Chain A
Amino acid sequence: MRERGHWNPYLAGALVGVVAILSVWLTGQYLGTSTTYVRAAGGLACTIAPGHVAENAYYTLEKVKLDWQGMLVIGLFIGALVSALTGGTFRSEAVPPMWAERFGPSPWKRAVVAFIGGAIMVFGARLAGGCPSGHGLSGVMVLSVSGLLAMAGFMAGGFATAALLFGRK
């Protein structure tokens, strides 16, 4: 199962658990990422229509600013880049192989579906109140009912859609 330059997934996962514990213990912060999409979208919208963003109830609720979680997302990019470069697992990829096998090699087709999927996904995460980091990891770690319900939803929607996309085979 393990591939060159990667670690056993049980070990890497367990270490994420340790990172989550230290973060809560030392700084009181729980892992999560999807609110950052709202703040970033609000920040971008501010350059076009600052008055509109200031009046919007959701941007006001989540506060458009660079905070702990925004820096976490930036760090996530850096950490993945460093790990991929030092481990020799950096891969320049325009279309994922599994996608290409089913839907062909067109990067445009992939990009359009990725855009639509990304939009639906973050919309759902904000409705649910979190993504697999905030609800899945942080929420289930504290055994919250909201985290468990959201996880059940993520998987139900994901399994059904994957079956429709790829067939039952």
Chain B
Amino acid sequence: MNPLWAGLITGIAFGFLLQKGMMLRYEKQLGFLRFRDMTLLKFMFSAILVGAVGLHLLHALGAIPELKVRGTLIGANLAGGVIFGIGWALFGLCPGTAVGALGEGRWHVAAGIVGGLAGAAIFAEVYPALGGLLAVGSLGKLTLPGVLGLSPWIVLAVFIAGAVALFRWFEKKGL
């Protein structure tokens, strides 16, 4: 299939499900960051675990030749992550959910999306100057099972057990 059409169809499904799962609301995002409403974690961990099991299964069966792993850059991953988190709490949505929220009628996110474009442009301007800073802690394409020397299935089993325990606790507490 033409990748542009594939992207559009995948995006429509993604946006539809984010809306159905109530992920496009400021209240659900800040509700999570304020430990008041764990809908976001329920949604995200469910997506990750189903996706992780399916991708590793298809990989084991040879249907997916190689799983794409982004290189580990300890400094950039962590520092960029924390900076992202600060902006996320101020704005109340993330780059993908913001676009969906606009489709749901939450007009105020338009300012955050324009801000996001400005942030991207600023990053492009400072990128040449960052140079070696981006490479701090560059360790290559690591996976957790690879680092631990374990089968991915053992890591997945631990993740699933942890998520199920967490989900049960959320439901008990009404979070």
Contact = CB atoms under 8 A, between A and B. Distances in A.
Contacts of A140: 48, 52
Given A10-B43, A20-B51, A115 B111 contact: yes
28 contacts: A10-B43, A10-B167, A13-B42, A17-B47, A33-B95, A57-B128, A77-B102, A78-B11, A79-B16, A81-B103, A82-B12, A96-B92, A114-B91, A119-B119, A125-B80, A126-B80, A137-B48, A139-B69, A141-B48, A142-B68, A144-B142, A146-B70, A156-B82, A157-B82, A157-B86, A158-B86, A162-B34, A165-B89
A156 B75 CA distance: 15
Contacts, number: 508
B97 to A, nearest CB: 8
Contact of B81 (A33, A40, A68, A149): A149
B interface majority secondary structure: helix
Given A79-B19, A153-B78, A111 B111 contact: yes
Interface residues of B, number: 117
A124 B86 contact: yes
B73 interface: yes
A29 B10 contact: yes
A75 B8 contact: yes
Contacts of B80: 124-129, 150, 153
Interface of A: 1, 3, 6-7, 9-21, 23-27, 29-31, 33-34, 36-38, 40-42, 44-45, 56-59, 66-84, 87, 89-99, 107, 110-163, 165-166
B107 interface: yes
Interface of B: 1, 3-27, 30-31, 33-34, 39, 42-52, 54-55, 58, 63-64, 67-74, 76-92, 94-96, 98-109, 111-125, 127-128, 130, 134, 139, 141-145, 147, 152, 155-156, 167
Contacts of A110: 108, 111
A131 B72 contact: no
A107 B108 contact: yes
B19 A83 contact: yes
A153 B17 contact: no
Contacts of A75: 7-15
Nearest to A7: B20
B12 to A, nearest CB: 4
B10 A111 contact: no
